[in-house]
Amino acid sequence: MKIGIIGCGAIGSFLSIILNRSGHEITIIEKTKGCKKQKVIVENIGEEEIKVCNYKEIKGQKFDYLIFAVKAYDLEKSIKIARKYINSDYALSTQNGLYSLEKLEKYYKSGSMIIYYGLNKIKKCHSIFNGGSKLIIGCKNRDCREEFKNLAIKDVKTELVDNIEPYRWEKVIVNSAINPVASLYLKKNGFILENKNAYNLSLHIANESKKIASLFKISLASDPIIELKNTIKFTYNNYNSTIQDLCSNKRKTELDYINLALYKIARKIGYQAKYNYFAYKSVMVMKDLLKENNRLCDSILNG
């Protein structure tokens, strides 16, 4: 299969290597000069020579699948540029949280790739793998397994499911409880299991997020509280994506699409998601603090 991966951050570099090793023809689409083979590195996984091109160099090319491996807050802009330069009928979102799949569905036969792996970006096309368990691929409220069956991935546990919604919501619940809590401490995910206060706050958020899912009649694939504990264990040594955004002084964090999104959709049906709102606002305070003193991030940014 000819696959285009938009973005060469933590997720893009990881997917490019495992898909390349699975026999697919991979092109990473990035802001770069020209089009050339480039070394892509994921520490603890390995490295591969993969073609990296800018949009203009591949204008008009047809891809079997497009994978948008960008942050949720960059997705809309990436879709707009991709539609101008690239031909593809099928696309996958890899973003954490809500809204991303819905944006892709306007233009492509789309699904989500739920990624239960801990990955930290070191620099462009160079990241580090910190453990994890699986990939899940599927579409919202429809069975698209036939459409994505050729997206074979070797050496990584991958599930094609008949409806991604239970899994997408499960991941939202898990991330709503891990990302803000670990970010408040600027600690790796495993710290939540080590600290009683952090763990209790994480459980309160997870249970509230689970309640929101039930209000929207989402039938979850498994108990998200159990999945929360398992995810923390599998990604024990990982700094989550929110910490990476905070320490890189990003304008937004993915919590806009996780905790804040949960709070907003719950409010529409009269439910006050107080823990999610507290988690979001607390991390925004941390964001302001780090603008004043980014040295708190030195150990994170320097590995």
Shared domain for 7 and 143, answered yes or no, is yes
Mean pLDDT of the region 89-98:
95
Residues 6+ apart with CB under 8 A from 256: 72, 73, 97, 280
Q: Which two tokens stand for residue 257?
A: 């699409």
Q: What is the CATH number of the domain that holds 130?
A: 3.40.50.720
Shared domain for 101 and 182, answered yes or no, is no
CA distance 163 to 112: 10
CA distance 180 to 252: 13
β-strands 158-160, 46-53: how paired? Answer: unpaired
Q: Which two tokens stand for residue 299?
A: 């150990």
Quick check: helix, strand or coil at residue 236?
coil
Give me the DSSP letters along 132-170.
Answer: EEEEEEEBTTB--TTTTTT---SSS-EEE-S-SHHHHHH
Shared domain for 135 and 199, answered yes or no, is no
Q: How many domains does the chain have?
A: 2
Residue 291 vs residue 29, higher pLDDT: 29
Shared domain for 83 and 155, answered yes or no, is yes
Shared domain for 93 and 46, answered yes or no, is yes
Q: What is the CATH number of the domain that holds 172?
A: 1.10.1040.10
Note the pLDDT of residue 65: 98
Residue 297 vs residue 9, higher pLDDT: 9
Residue pLDDT, tens place only, 104-148: 999 999 999 999 999 999 999 999 999 988 999 999 999 999 999
Residue pLDDT, tens place only, 157-213: 999 999 999 999 999 999 999 999 999 999 999 999 999 999 999 999 999 999 999
- Give pTM, 2 decimals: 0.93
Domain endpoint, select from 163, 185, 206: 163
Shared domain for 193 and 159, answered yes or no, is no
Shared domain for 128 and 180, answered yes or no, is no
User: Has residue 234 got a pLDDT over 60?
Assistant: yes
CA distance 142 to 177: 28
Shared domain for 15 and 149, answered yes or no, is yes
Are 29 and 58 in contact by the 8 Å Cβ rule? The answer is yes
Shared domain for 20 and 119, answered yes or no, is yes
CA distance 124 to 30: 9
Note the pLDDT of residue 155: 85
Note the pLDDT of residue 302: 62
Domain endpoint, select from 136, 163, 190: 163
- Domain that includes residue 119, residue range: 2-163
CA distance 87 to 65: 9
Q: Which two tokens stand for residue 259?
A: 């905790």
Are 128 and 108 in contact by the 8 Å Cβ rule? The answer is no
Shared domain for 277 and 200, answered yes or no, is yes
Shared domain for 171 and 116, answered yes or no, is no
Burial (CB count <10 Å: 0-12, 13-18, 19+), residue 36: exposed
User: Has residue 233 got a pLDDT over 80?
Assistant: yes
Long-range contact pairs involving 81-84 (C-beta distance under 8 Å, separation at least 24): 81/55, 82/6, 82/29, 82/55, 83/107, 84/55
Give me the DSSP letters along 67-92.
Answer: EE-S-GGGHHHHHHHHHHH-B-SEEE
Mean pLDDT of the region 265-276:
98
Shared domain for 159 and 177, answered yes or no, is no
Domain endpoint, select from 134, 163, 192: 163
Burial (CB count <10 Å: 0-12, 13-18, 19+), residue 211: middle
